[in-house]
Structure 1
Amino acid sequence: MRSLVRRLPAVGLALVSTLTLLSPPAAGARSTGAGYSNPVTAGFSADFPDPSMIKGRDGWWYAYSTGGPYAKDGSDGDSYKIARSRDLTHWEKVGSVFDAGNRPTWADPTSGFWAPDIRYLGGRYVLYFTVHNTTTTPDNWDYAIGAATAPTPAGPWTDSGAPVVAPRPAADGGFQWTIDPAEFTDTDGTRYLYWGSYNGGIHAVRLTPDGLKTVGPVTDVARDRFEGPYVVKHGGYYYLFGSSSNCCAGPATGYAVFAGRSKSPLGPFVDREGASLLASRTGGTPVVASNGNKWVGTGHSSIVTDLAGQQWFAYHAVDRTDPFVTGSNGWLLRPMLLDRLDWIDGWPTVNAGTGPSETSSSAPVTTVLAGPLPADVRVEADLRGGGGVYARRSADGSLVRATVSARRLVVETVRHGRVISRREAALAYEPGNVAVEARGNHVIAEASEDRLGDPLAVVSLELPAGMSRGSAGPIGAVDNFSAAALYQPVRHATPTPYVGKVDLRYSDDFSHGLGSGWTWRNVSPDARVARGALTWPTETADLSSDATAAKASLLLRDQPQGEFVVETKLSLDVGSDTVRNYQQAGLLVYVDDQDWMRLDHVAGGTGRFVEFAKRMRFTPPAAPPIVSFGGAMIGPPAATTWLRLAHDLVPGTGEHRYRAASSTDGKHWVWGAAWTLPAGTTPRIGLVSQGSTPEAEAAYGKATATFDYFRVTR
């Protein structure tokens, strides 16, 4: 071993005088340059839902998932899966978390285990998990959250002995869906647990320092439109990720991930437009959604950081062309996908907004290779109590270093052997990892327990001119040292669909009655055109109901060839916070009663949503045909909401693709999911006002939809 002190002048080196360099600093971590294909669990497991990842201190990456089959035919499976990888894109089986010898005693023998969340807390691995049926109450489906600890990511796992969050009774009977846990540790050392789903919403509570018990009151942080929470800190904000819509509707699964942010880990969380995730007209900025390729149902996410500092989004999805276990038409497979997570204008988005990938030309940086280091570099190491890393060390002894000692992260710039700048921050716990990123003359150092977006401390400083490059290395007794070319952040989102000039042949401003080109399928006796608007009370007939679909009134017209955008301005008097199931109105794309999609402002429960719904025929391989229905959420609605659908043809397949957007002012648009219709079909476009129920009408009457215009632009 060569002492770092012997290689640097003695001035100003008291902090590291006893630390030694354990390995040569020439190694760097780089991607191999090869791309990868989704799902990354292909060849290992056909099913890997609700994934959670961590980089183990043994140098492997580990992933955990809800139990299910490994084989496509459903013949092999585990109750709770563990996998590992060297490169994040090729995975191998490790085994299961629980077996007969370590199964939690408070879990009913009939219960499965769902939605894991993995952390490294206090020098050990902690896995939070969902039990859907416990022995703590006499009832079934009394959901609860537990925790198990282990010395290694592979186990052996020891249950804490009791639920961390016990079953929570629901106001209307039964139990809230106390599922989908996710832990987060703030820089002040406070640990939080987030959980929840559609029955009850998303909640947060403080944890004891060991992470195994709750402390104090429960705080509501997002309403019952969301489940699968995950929290990270970025740029001074706390970001709450949540999945929304139906998780498991086969090829029509509309699951997608949304985000809100706050200056506090307990909220209030708002989206990019300022809409609250707790409001009846629920906010949420889209992070990933279906985009017209084979992947739908893109949800339940976690985040992992590669050695270059690039964050990657792990989530499950459904292959709409082959969604089920072989020979079935309902046993859904949800393999794990991995895609780049970009932060653009302060908001997270997958692949700059393009959504899930089938293939990618660049893979995560996970491989350590020899070679010279670039000017912009990321250096990190796992710590054994103390130690650190340095970067940009030049022949004259200049460098920048980050070290951990006595529960403090210290960042220093050394110039010609003399410390010329120093910043430090207190640490609530002993960190497991320290990293330094140098970009230009700016340096950010971060100490964390588990590299999962919840740093214990972040320290930044500016470098003097002339310290532009040099070698990097570890300081003291560390593991898994790496130095990599720092990732290049994506600064600009992929352009949204082009909105051209109004094509009057396909448009109607309702200024002179109902214009030419329209056709009624079942004339609505209540629809009226007056004073430049179409007014249409909501019908009880609904296209999504087999019993009433044929009776539904539809206002339809031909759609143009090629690319176009159809837009309407809709006012719907459903108010907020009241139960008006399921009064709705909006845009329609229609082939027949089994193949259609609609973009509506919908009243559901006490919530109000913009939903892009789809109904479709599907014939699974070696199984009977089915009709599948699902929906994807877009942006929040308002008393007046603008709706858009952008149409094009999918390259290679010729399918009709429609991407949805909504706006609350007609200027700022939230673009979300895309659905497709088969090539060779002849869809028509139009308007609907439907979904009312006798119960809603008895309490509130019909809702009235007012369409100011129907506009096609090209």
Structure 2
Amino acid sequence: MHVIAATMLLALAMIGPAAAQTQPALSGNIAIHDPSILVTDAGWVSFATGVENAPDEGTPRTKTSPDGLAWTESGPLPGGLSDWIEEELGYRPKNLWAPSVFAGERTVYLYYSASTFGSNESAIGLMTNEAFDPKNPTEGWQDQGMVLRSHRGDDFNAIDPFRIDTGGRAFLAFGSFWNGIRMIELDPQSGKPAANAELIPIASRGGGAIEAPALLEHDGRFYLFVSFDSCCRGIASTYRIMVGRADEVTGPYLDRDGKPMLEGGGTLVQAAEGRYRGPGGQEVFMVGDEPWLAYHYYDRDQGGMPKLQVAPLRFDEDGWPQLDPMPE
């Protein structure tokens, strides 16, 4: 598997930095929640939260696109929920949440969340694929079991994973509500926690609503994107995308005004605009060498249906990321 080819970069020129005045207008099947995207020379693939109580047991769903604009449903990952989930948690989740795809040199890693609303009896699991085919994205996955776990009484929630590799090391950021976002170092090959790895706090709102971390290394700095406030309420959702910046992957992350993200800081990247309500659940992904952001929003004009949006990240003169306005 290869990163995006030059021919696809040319095909994307119309929505590249020189031409775009708004974020891209997407078409096809873009009903999605918590998107994670991988761009290859054979096309784009998205992974997303599964459908509650579906016959497939709510495993992550996939979509494909030749260009990132027009999307087609390609189905859920087969096999249902792995037995370890119910054995570990003591209950069987209605679906798996917020899968996050990471492409290594030879292996594609897919982290996912097993939980239920309002509880931190949660776990992050891992699937791997050593022969990933972007034309058949549901094939070839092997479940590798649990990565990490949170229990009642812990001050964190083991959901919403996102992996970043830097300087020969790998890290997993995760978290939702409770006391915020944590990070743990991974063994780059197994994708599971490194020996003696400790949890590192990187963002918190003191028990307030913060989740869905995503990390970007850009021009010698690290950027932590998170969602503030409430998702999953249709057009009443108040999600908004925030960001902070650090010189080291482990932090400290500060917002534009210098407020630490561990003290509730965050600089706004995307809030609701017009029919686009509650944008969040974001992830960073790469189109060639350029960073993009994928997220979902709730379409006010279609009854609050959650939908996919992707857009290139721009950086202002002070190095802060921003997005173009939403399309009409």
Please report the TM-score for the alignment, with normalisation by the length of structure 1: 0.39
Report if the CA contact (8 A) 1:119-1:183 is conserved: yes
Q: Is 1:126 aligned to residue 126 of structure 2?
A: no
Q: What amino acid maps onto 2:321 in structure 1? A: P
- Contact 2:8–2:67 (CA<8 Å) still a contact in 1? no
> Offset at 1:118?
0.3
Query: What's the CA shift for 1:120?
Result: 1.2
Native 8 Å contact 1:52 1:118 kept in 2:
yes
Secondary structure, counterpart of 1:214 in structure 2: coil
For the Cα contact (< 8 Å) 1:50–1:65, is it kept in 2? yes
Runs of 4+ off more than 6 Å: 25-28, 34-39, 74-77
SS at match of 1:87: coil
Given candidates 280, 283, 290, the residue that maps to 1:302 is 283
Match of 1:220 in 2: 201
Aligned partner of 2:85 among 107, 110, 116: 107
Aligned: 1:246 with 2:230: yes
Equivalent residues of 1:51, 1:301 under 8 A apart:
yes
What does residue range 23-34 of structure 1 map to in structure 2 within 5 Å? 29-31=10-12, 33=14
Question: Sequence identity, in percent?
Answer: 26
Once residues 317 and 39 of structure 1 are traced to their aligned partners in structure 2, the CA distance between those partners, rounded to angstroms, is: 13
2:267 matched to 1:285? yes
Shift of residue 67, structure 1, vs aligned partner: 1.2
Instruction: Say if 2:206 is the partner of 1:206.
Output: no
Instruction: Show the 5 A alignment for 1:520-669.
Output: none
Q: CA deviation at 1:241?
A: 0.5
1:407 — aligned with what?
A: none
Question: 1:168 deviation in Å?
Answer: 3.6
Q: CA 1:247/1:38 → structure 2, altered by over 3 Å: closer, same or farther?
A: farther
CA distance in 1, matches of 2:183, 2:228: 18
3-state SS of the aligned residue for 1:117? Answer: strand
Structure 1 SS opposite 2:235:
helix
Deviation at 1:76, TM superposition (A): 11
- Correspondence 1:66-85 to 2 at 5 A: 66-68=49-51, 79-85=59-65
1:337 aligns with 2:285: no
Letter paired with 2:121 = D
Aligned match of 2:74 in 94, 97, 106? 94
1:340, distance to aligned residue in structure 2 (A): 3.0
TM-score (norm 2): 0.82
Query: What letter is aligned with 1:190?
Result: R
In 2: Cα distance, 1:28 partner to 1:209 partner: 29
Structure 2 residues not aligned, in runs of 5+: 1-5
Q: Quick one: which of 253, 258, 261 aligns to 2:242?
A: 258
Which residue in the other structure is 2:327 paired with?
358
**Counterpart residue identity of residue 327, structure 2:** E
**Structure 2 CA distance for aligned equivalents of residues 179 and 127 of structure 1:** 13
Alignment of 1:437-456 (within 5 A): none
| CA shift in 2, pair 1:311/1:107, >3 Å | same
1:647-676 superposed Cα distances (whole Å, 9 cap, x missing partner) = xxxxxxxxxxxxxxxxxxxxxxxxxxxxxx
Matches within 5 A, 1:395-410: none
Deviations 1:125-163 (A, max 9, x none): 100000116xxxxxx862110110012051321111x31
Q: Deviations over 1:457-501 (max 9, x none)?
A: xxxxxxxxxxxxxxxxxxxxxxxxxxxxxxxxxxxxxxxxxxxxx
> Deviation of residue 60 (structure 1)?
1.5
Greater per-residue strand proportion: 1
Q: Could you tell me which of 50, 53, 64 is aligned with 2:34?
A: 50
Would you say the 8 A contact 1:65–1:82 is kept in 2? Answer: yes
* Matched residue, 2:160: 180
Q: CA deviation at 1:249?
A: 2.8
SS of residue paired to 2:306: coil
Give the deviation of 1:33 after TM superposition: 4.3
Q: Is the 8 A contact 1:170 1:200 kept in 2?
A: no
Query: Within the alignment, does 1:146 sit opposite 2:119 as a pair?
Result: no
Instruction: Identify the residue that residue 317 of structure 1 maps to in structure 2.
Output: 297
- 1:375 paired residue number: none
Q: How many residues are matched?
A: 299
Equivalent residues of 2:120, 2:150 under 8 A apart: no
Change (3 A) 1:77 1:85: farther
SS in 2 for 1:197: coil
Any idea what SS the aligned residue of 1:29 has? Answer: helix
Aligned equivalent of 2:3: none
**Structure whose CA Rg is larger:** 1
Tell me if 1:349 matches 2:322.
yes
What displacement does 1:294 show? 0.5
Unaligned runs of 5+ in 1: 1-24, 134-139, 325-332, 360-714
C-alpha separation in 2, matches of 1:265 and 1:275: 17
Counterpart amino acid of residue 228 in structure 2: S
CA contact (8 A) 1:143 1:176 kept: no
2-side partners of 1:76 and 1:44: how far apart? Answer: 19
Matched-pair contact (CA < 8 Å) for 1:228–1:301: yes
CA RMSD of aligned residues (A): 2.9
Secondary structure of 2:171's aligned partner: strand
Equivalent pair of 2:222/2:246 in contact (CA under 8 Å): yes
Q: Return the alpha-carbon distance in structure 1 between the equivalents of residues 55 and 82 of structure 2.
A: 25
